[in-house]
Amino acid sequence: MHCEPLPVLTAERQRRILRLLSERGRLTLAEIASRLGISPATARRDATDLATNGKALRVHGALLPIDFGLEEPRYSRKAGKAVTAKVNLGRTVAALLPEAGPVFIDAGTTCLEVGRCLLDRPDLRIFTNSIPLLSLAGESRATLVAIGGEVRPLSLALTGALSQHWLANLRFDAAVIGASGLDADAGASTTETAEAAVKSEALRRATRRILVAHGEKWSRPSALCFAPWNAFSDFVTDHVFSRANRLALGRHGLRLHAPLSR
């Protein structure tokens, strides 16, 4: 007698989803449906169940691990992590930037290291929303210009409507942008809407658009995607890519740069 195989029980199917989530760090609903061979409606239902039961975090179109940090750490805590790597990334980005003209440097600890490398360029005008970078004005030969706005204490960044108004009147030869997280498919992300808006606006107003990020952020997206890969011209990171990822990024027209060593 021939017996049809029983469908995978809901509990077992959801355990498989959680295993995949722990391996990948993020799962879209489309990936869940494809990998488990289930309908989009079932994938949405499983995602909702997992989020309701406190086993995963539900964001638009995807699941994140329950311990995923939607709350970013304070600036002082981030400043003490991977210091040497960030210095090397900063030097690499600086080598891509002009000696003169207007550039935008984003807030964040890695972008701060980029800014430090530019302070001895007297013909450069550095526009920034980074309070730590602005605090170096007294030792800078370059001209530092503050993008006005409200201070966000967690990241020491200037954001909000005033920042948007300032940026609407500016153009940059290059913009250097940081990210809280990176996704191979979606692009660069951050944790907060006001900072996402500043990053997006600066990118729109720059000729050369450089993303810089420490390798630990790869495959660890944050809540808000602020730019797809094709929004950038260059990507500076110490992440070691697989051949498939390198080819995929290249199809977006992205130039990859490995960090310079000391």
- CATH number of the domain that 210 lies in? 3.40.50.1360
Asked if residue 189 lies in contact with residue 107, where contact means CB atoms within 8 angstroms, the answer is: no
- Note the pLDDT of residue 23: 60
Other CB atoms within 10 A of residue 139 CB: 9
- Does 247 have pLDDT greater than 90? yes
Per the structure, the complete domain to which residue 48 belongs is given by 10-65
Which tokens belong to 108? 């964040």
What is the pLDDT at residue 51? 86
List the single range of 102-106, 110-114, 152-156, 211-215 with lowest mean pLDDT.
152-156
| Confidence at 75, pLDDT banded by 50, 70, 90 | low
Task: Return the structure tokens found at 114.
Answer: 């980029």
Instruction: Tell me the whole-structure pTM to 2 decimals.
Output: 0.72
Whether 122 and 250 share a structural domain: yes
**Collapsed DSSP state (helix, strand, coil) of residue 227:** strand
Can you give the pLDDT at residue 9? 79
- Intra-chain end-to-end CA distance of the chain, in Å: 71
pLDDT of residue 7: 46
- Check whether residue 56 and residue 161 sit in a common domain: no
Q: Which of 47, 65, 83 is where one domain is finished?
A: 65
155, 85: one domain = yes
Rounded distance, CA 155 to CA 158, Å?
9
Tell me the backbone φ, ψ of residue 52, rounded to 5 degrees: -60, -35
Do residues 21 and 65 touch, judged by C-beta distance below 8 A?
A: yes
- H-helix or E-strand spanning residue 143: strand 143-146
Whether 61 and 98 map to the same domain: the answer is no
Q: Which residue has the tokens 């740069």?
A: 257
130 pLDDT more than 90: yes
Please state the separation of Cα 87 from the chain's center in Å. Answer: 18
Tell me the average pLDDT of the chain: 87
Q: Mark whether 60 and 162 lie in a shared domain.
A: no
Q: What is the pLDDT of residue 137?
A: 95
Residue 131 pLDDT greater than 50, yes or no: yes
